[in-house]
């Protein structure tokens, strides 16, 4: 059975660029803040993996949390 999860993530490259006083070349400044993205998955690990495929660590995305929604 699938459940709905929220995965919180931000982009470290955007945060680093803003700390240097510039904007990221390809992403909006808002990615320095945590975004909560909903995903359907059978479990927390699968939810995390699905988000990681879309928002890859190699491009600066950092997952800060995964929580099941009621």
pLDDT at res. 51: 97
Number of domains into which the chain is organized: 1
pLDDT 10s digit of each residue in the chain, 70 long? 899 999 999 999 999 999 999 999 999 999 999 999 999 999 999 999 999 999 999 999 999 999 999 8
pLDDT at res. 70: 84
pLDDT at res. 21: 96
pLDDT at res. 48: 97
CATH number at residue 44: 3.10.20
Asked if residues 5 and 39 have their Cβ atoms less than 8 Å apart, the reply is yes
Structural domain containing residue 63: 3-68
């Amino acid at each position: 059975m699938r459940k709905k999860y929220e995965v919180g993530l931000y982009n470290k490259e955007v945060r680093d660029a803003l700390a240097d006083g510039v904007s990221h070349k390809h992403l909006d400044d808002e990615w320095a803040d945590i975004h909560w993205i909903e995903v359907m998955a059978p479990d927390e690990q699968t939810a995390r993996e699905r988000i990681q495929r879309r928002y890859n660590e190699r491009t600066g995305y950092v997952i800060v949390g995964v929580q099941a929604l009621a």
